[in-house]
Amino acid sequence: MRFRSSVEFIVGAIERSLNEVDENGIEEEILKANRIMIYGVGRSGLVARSFATRLMHLGLETYMIGETVSPPIEGGDVVILISGSGRTNSVLRVGELAKEIGAKAIALTSNENSPIYKMADLRVILRVGIDRELAPLGTIFEDSAQIFLDGLVAELMGDLDESEDSMSARHATLE
């Protein structure tokens, strides 16, 4: 019984969250960026990795901050920060450093009173309901962020005249 209640709650909360969201110019910033650098930790970091993979499939120069093969952030880069609480210290610090260097910081968070939200140049708020028994520990934010970013990928596909076939050509061949 709890499983069905949880699924219904999560799906409804995601739908409400995404119906209110404004992509706020992220698409344009991604398209004009020299490179896209993405950062998040924990489950938000997993969402970040998924988004970085799709941007790479689109042919965009994309890196996960913190990986040993990531170059340093430079002016002209876009840094996308993902943190449900908007208070994750390492995410905030990455954003502050990016701005000091001259990169544009974009925050994806559920907390418009957070330091990450206030520091960012562009902000996307995913308003999420909280039910710690049916969707614990940020589940609604993470699931909403994943779907929001997948929708952004679909929009970018159109902008870049990409298709499933062209993206598949960039898909990993050794897995």
By annotation, the residues acting in catalysis are 142
Q: Please name which of 108, 111, 99 lies closest in space to residue 74, comparing C-alpha atoms.
A: 99
Are 71 and 103 within 8 A, CB to CB? no
Q: Please name which of 30, 68, 61, 62 lies closest in space to residue 49, comparing C-alpha atoms.
A: 62
Beta-sheet pairing, 78-82 with 104-109: parallel
Q: Please name which of 86, 109, 79, 81 lies closest in space to residue 17, comparing C-alpha atoms.
A: 109
Cα–Cα dist 25/16, whole Å? 21
